[in-house]
Structure 1
Amino acid sequence: MTRIISSLSEISAQYDALFVDLWGCVHNGVHALPGAVSALQAYRAGGGKVVLVTNSPRPRAGVTKQLVHFGVPDDAWDTIATSGDSARSAMFRGVVGQKVWHIGYPGDERFFEPIGVVRDPVDVASVPLDEAEGIVCTGPRDPMADPSVMRPEFLLAKQRGLKLLCANPDIVVDRGDVREWCAGALAALYTEMGGESLYFGKPHPPIYDLARRRLAELGPQVADDRILAIGDGVLTDIAGAMGEDIDSLFISGGLAAEETKTIDQPDANALSGYLEKEKSSPTYTIGHLR
């Protein structure tokens, strides 16, 4: 049974490092969340390390610029591990071939910029679907359109046996008060249709391997039982933490605010019912990171 807490400081002394989700926890897609920023600043001031672990398809440098835009100060975090970096490494190792059909937002072409951490990277080119050896999905073309609009193209891709590399396993995010579809929704549809999707963000192991490497760059190795994962997605952040056997703090006021009846803090009965339905067992729960 999850333990409801009122602040990060209640439990922070038990952990030397945090793996912190961004969207819905530290910012809402429009601006920084002041309580979360203050909590992370205080944690770092006490000697803790903060690794921002995000399912953003952007490379680390791109997320850093985005944090500045949202008003998240650089003293609230130490380093960043992105789904995009993990997925780009796989792409340049050739996991979906050299000629790929790209599905994504305008501007996502930066995903194909050279990466320096892969030895002997393959030359990857973006091509039309009928020429492709694989698919790279960084997001839907229109985040407000139902993913089912992709069925005709996905049917052809499946028939050709193309693998889909998903750079962001999130199904939805809330940009302010507006809910948008993410790449994970398209990957889930492709899998449902019989295609093969490859994931590199939460809750899948590759991004946690990257997060641990980024954490190790900061100093002494931190044992898993001294790491706390924080996030608002039970299917991504909490499922990933459970799979990695690390403790977790569920932010109920994010994606599941309605289901958990969270305003300031979750309703205990609603929270219990929601977690039971989702078969999720976070170590702790709080309404909002603070």
Structure 2
Amino acid sequence: MSQIVTHLSEISDRYDALFVDLWGCIHNGLTPFSDAVAAMQAYRAKGGKVIFVTNAPRHRGSVTAQLDKIGVAEDSWDAIATSGDSARFAMFNGAVGSKIYFIGQPHDQTFFDPLDIVENPVTIEKVALEDAEGIVCCGPVDPMADPEVMRPEFLYAKQKGLKLLCANPDIVVDRGETREWCAGALAKLYTEMGGDSRYFGKPHPPIYDLARRRLAALGETIPDDRILCIGDGVLTDVRGAMGEDLDSLFISGGLAAAETKTTHQPDPDLLSGYLEKEMVSPTYTIGFLR
């Protein structure tokens, strides 16, 4: 059974670094969660390192700008690792070819910004589906539309044998009170149709490798048993931590608020049943990050 805690400070002394999810933990896409930001500031004030590890399908500069825009305090974090950067590294190394059919919104175009750390990067050209060698998916064109609207395009792409690079494995996200579809929902559909989807965010290893590199770049050598992963997604944050053999703190008041009846803290019996159903075992659980 996951240990239920009321404040991060109850367990934070056991860890030297935190890998912290953003959406649903630090902010809701519109405004920051003040208690969560304060908890990060307090942790850093004691010498801990905070790496924001996010399935945002954009590079860290774009995410930094978003945090500034919505008002997340700069002194609440040390570095950022994004699934977008992990996926961009793969794309510029030719993982899905050079002629790319792009699925996403206008603000996702920063995905194609140059990436200096790749030697001899592939020259990427965005083309129509019939001319494509591969697909890059940053998210639905319309995040409110059923992913099934992509079935005709995906059937054609599967028949052509195109690989789909998924820059955000999240299935859904809550923007304020509104639930939206993410790139992971499209990649899941493509896989179910027999297509080849490649994932680079949580729970898959590349983003954790990137997070560790971001941590090392701070001049810190921290063993895995001194790193705590924090997030509200059992299929991404918790399962990813389990796969990396890292401890985790599950935020039950995010995506699973209804299933766990979390208002301030989760109902213990409902929490236990939910975790058992999802076949995950976070080290700790808290209603909201504070």
1:119 matched residue in structure 2: 119
2:7 matched residue in structure 1: 7
> After TM superposition, which residue ranges in structure 1, 4 or more long, deviate above 4 angstroms?
none
**Residues 14-41 of structure 1, C-alpha deviations (whole Å, 9 max, x = no match):** 0000000000000011100000000000
2:182 matched residue in structure 1: 182
Amino acid at match of 1:203: P
- Aligned with 1:84: secondary structure? helix
- In 1, distance between residues paired with 2:195 and 2:27? 34
CA shift for structure 1 position 69: 1.1
2:100 matched residue in structure 1: 100
2:261 matched residue in structure 1: 261
Amino acid at match of 1:38: A
Give me the identity figure in percent. 71
- Aligned with 1:116: secondary structure? coil
CA shift for structure 1 position 109: 1.6
**Residues 140-162 of structure 1, C-alpha deviations (whole Å, 9 max, x = no match):** 00000000000000000000000
- In 2, distance between residues paired with 1:232 and 1:109? 27
Given the two structures, how large is their TM-score scaled by the length of structure 2?
A: 0.99
- In 1, distance between residues paired with 2:97 and 2:243? 29
1:224 matched residue in structure 2: 224
CA shift for structure 1 position 107: 2.5
- Aligned with 1:80: secondary structure? strand
Amino acid at match of 1:207: I
Gaps of 5+ in 2: none
- In 2, distance between residues paired with 1:220 and 1:25? 24
Gaps of 5+ in 1: none
- Aligned with 1:102: secondary structure? strand
- In 2, distance between residues paired with 1:258 and 1:107? 31
Q: How does 1:29-48 map to 2 (within 5 A)?
A: 29-48=29-48
**Residues 179-206 of structure 1, C-alpha deviations (whole Å, 9 max, x = no match):** 0000000000000000000000000000
1:56 pairs with 2:56: yes
1:141 matched residue in structure 2: 141
- In 2, distance between residues paired with 1:220 and 1:31? 31
- In 1, distance between residues paired with 2:107 and 2:241? 31
CA shift for structure 1 position 110: 1.5
- Aligned with 2:257: secondary structure? coil
CA shift for structure 1 position 106: 1.8
1:23 matched residue in structure 2: 23
1:272 matched residue in structure 2: 272
Amino acid at match of 2:66: Q
Given the two structures, how large is their TM-score scaled by the length of structure 1?
A: 0.99
**Residues 170-225 of structure 1, C-alpha deviations (whole Å, 9 max, x = no match):** 00000000000000000000000000000000000000000000000112210000
**Residues 102-135 of structure 1, C-alpha deviations (whole Å, 9 max, x = no match):** 0001222221111111111010111000000000
Counterpart contact for 2:230–2:248, Cα < 8 Å: yes
**Residues 235-281 of structure 1, C-alpha deviations (whole Å, 9 max, x = no match):** 00000000000000000000000000000000000100100000010
